[in-house]
Amino acid sequence: MDMNNVNIEEIVKQVLSGMTGTAPAAAAAASSNSGAIPKTARVAVLTEKEHFELKEYPIPPIGDDDILVKVEGCGVCGTDAHEFKRDPFNLIPVALGHEGTGEIVAMGKNVKVDTAGKPVKVGDKVVTCMIFKDDPDITMFDLNKKNVGGADVYGLLPDDDIHLNGWFSDYIFLRGGSFGTTFFNVSDLDLDSRILIEPCAVLVHAVERAKTTGILRFNSRVVVQGCGPIGLICIAVLRTMGIENICAVDGNEKRLEFAKRMGATTSVNFMNFKETEALAEAVKEAQGGHLADFAFQCTGNPKAHANIYKFIRNGGGLCELGFFINGGDAVINPHFDLCSKEINLVGSWVYTLRDYVTTFDFLKRANAIGLPMSELITDKFPLEQINEALQTNLAMTGLKIAVVNK
C-alpha cells in the first residue's frame, strides 16, 4: 500500500465515528452511492406495432409492501418480438420486458424477505417471476404445479396508472400485498447471468418435464432440434446434468459450432438434406448408428415438429417446447410417428416458481464448468435504442439481444 496516497485523517474520523456510535454514516454513504431517486422515470412504451416511444412518468409513492427497482438490464424475448411485430395479445399501449433485473433502491417497511424467504435490503439485485393476482398466497414450495400460463408477469401487463410495469425502463415498480408479485434476491449472480435467468428457467422446466417420462437418463442419447437461444440453453442444461451424447440439429453452421461449445458432441445441418428420411439417417449416423433415446423440439416450426419423430427410437421420448404462441398445425402420422413407436410425449410451457430457484444453481454450475453462457448475449443496446434492439431480434442476426441501462 502506498501510504502517501492514504488519507490518514479520513481513516481516523471513520474509526472515531464507529467508537462514538455514529457508524450509520457509512450506511448513508453506501446509499448515496446509488444516487437520489428521481421523481420521474423513462418507460419504453409500445405505442403501435414496431414502434416504442420513450415516455416519462412520475414514480409512485412506495407503499409498505412495495419495491422500487432501478433497472440494470433486460433480455429481449421472442414474446416481446411477437408483440412488437403483431400485437397478438392486444396489449398496445404496453410497457414490455420480462427478462429483467436490477437493484432495489427503495422498499416498504414490510418487505423483509423474497419469495424464497431470503432476506432482502436496499442495494440487493433482484429478478421477478410470476404475479399470482388470483392466488397471492401461493409459495414456491406449494405442490400446486402452476406455471406462468396461469399467472401474469411484469412486462406483459396492460397499461394502468402506475405505468412502471415492464423492465424496458429506468425503474420498475413492484407491487406488494394482494397483487401477488413474486421476486428473488440474486445478488450472487453477475448481470449477464441475471438477464439469462428467465429463458434458462424455461429450459430447466422443460428438462424437469422430460424427466417425468423416466427415459431421460445420464447415458441417454439426446437430440436437440433448433439452436437459437432456447435450444442452446437446453444443451447447456443437459450438459450440466452430465449428459454427454447430445446431437444438435439446425440450419445455421455458426449456431451449430456454438452448440458444441455449449456441450453438444455432434451436429447435423438440416440444410444439407432435401428429404426427411435422409436427414433422419444423418442424425442416426451422428449418434453412432442409433436413434435418439430422447429429443427436445425447440423451434416454432410445425414442420420441424413433424420431422423430429423420425429421429427417435421406439419407446423413446419427446419434449415439445417450441410453440410459445400459435405457430400453426403440424402434420404427423399418429400410427407411424407416435403409436407404433410408443413415443412418450410431453409438452412444456414456461416454468414454475421452483424452476426459477433451480435455475440460479444451474447458472452457477454452467459457469463453473466453463460453458460460455454470457456469450449467448450477442448484442446490447441502451434504452434509447429499444426499437433497434427489437429489429435486431427479428432479423435473427444474433442470439440473445439485451437492453442494458448505463
pLDDT number for residue 38:
95
User: Which of 253, 252, 280, 249 has the alpha carbon at shortest distance from 267?
Assistant: 249
Domains in the chain (CATH in brackets) are: 40-188+372-404 (3.90.180.10), 200-347 (3.40.50.720)
Question: Each residue of 171-192: pLDDT tens digit?
Answer: 999 999 889 899 999 999 999 9
In angstroms, rounded to a whole number, what is the distance separating the alpha carbons of residues 270 and 44? 39
C-alpha cell at 127: 429478478
Cα-trace Rg, the chain: 24
Question: Each residue of 346-397: pLDDT tens digit?
Answer: 999 888 888 999 999 999 999 999 999 999 999 999 999 999 999 999 999 9
Strand partners, 71: 102
Whole-model pTM: value is 0.88
pLDDT number for residue 353:
87
The 8-class DSSP code of residue 335 comes to: I
C-alpha cell at 304: 420441424
Question: Each residue of 282-321: pLDDT tens digit?
Answer: 999 999 999 999 999 999 899 999 999 999 999 999 999 9
Residue 397: strand, helix, or coil: coil
In angstroms, rounded to a whole number, what is the distance separating the alpha carbons of residues 223 and 233? 13
Give the list of residues 6+ apart from residue 285 with CB closer than 8 angstroms, or none.
none
